[in-house]
Amino acid sequence: MTSIASTNEVFDRSVLAIFSHPDDIEFVAAGTLLRLRALGWKIHYMNLANGCCGSNETDRATTARIRLEEAKRSAGLLGATFYPPICDDLDVFYNRENLAKVSAVVRMARPTMVLTHARYDYMEDHMETCRLAVTAAFTRSVPNYETDPPHAAVECDIALYHAQPHGNRTPDNRLAIPGYVVAVDDVMDTKLAMLQCHQSQQNWLASTQKMNSYLQTMLDLNSEVAQITHSPSQFAEGWNKHLHLGYGPQSWDPMLEIATATNAK
């Protein structure tokens, strides 16, 4: 495994996870964030949607309130700075209002790494979140772009990475092979505890997406990532690096501090 730590480069170790719904980070990114935290990275945690549609049992306002508290508990286990959601479920649109809010968070967090959804995923909220995260990262250093609330532009190189799509499949049912694989065996207990914070999702995911156990589903998906990348680990998370143009030098690849490249080169 190649490590950028060996190059003696000095950089601000700050990573911002921008995902769609409460529990998305836990499914595909929490292990990577835990590995980074162990190396001294500052962790920033944001779900764009409030989870209000994620229940067959409670109304929108009650569901959003429950899911907010669940997400805060999970972020607490991660030791992350928590940013509140900006919209309702299924209102994650690529528009000026949402982009200005996400861009403000990027400028506040000043990340050198941004993690977000796959570009092609099983639902539109995930893909729109990806689009917002990508553009918000780009606007970080554009002084004439106004964020909401206002924050001055920041100068920092960013490496942007896309997680595995849910189910490890693209919307046209093709197996998604990641370019980087992060072994998460040693942090799986905490990753499971983070996902278990989202207890309200057990019945919802069982009834709407046929996940008899959302915890087991996460284990199965992370196990499949390890298998398809021939990782020696039992569980892994997969990533693909976004094109560097507009974000930093081509060589800026901090994921390699904890990941093994597969087909990325």
CA 229, CA 238: separation in Å to the nearest integer? 9
pLDDT of residue 209: 54
pLDDT of residue 208: 53
Give me the phi and psi of 62, to 5 degrees please: -65, -45
> Going from the N-terminus, what domains does the chain have, and what CATH number goes with each?
12-261 (3.40.50.10320)
Long-range interactions of 84-88: CB distance < 8 A, separation 24+:
85/22, 85/46, 85/47, 85/48, 85/49, 85/50, 85/51, 86/48, 87/48, 87/49, 87/50, 88/49, 88/50, 88/52, 88/53, 88/60, 88/64
pLDDT digits (tens, 9 = 90+) for 200-210: 877 655 555 55
pLDDT digits (tens, 9 = 90+) for 7-41: 334 568 999 999 999 999 999 999 999 999 999 99
pLDDT classification of 56: cutoffs 50, 70, 90: confident
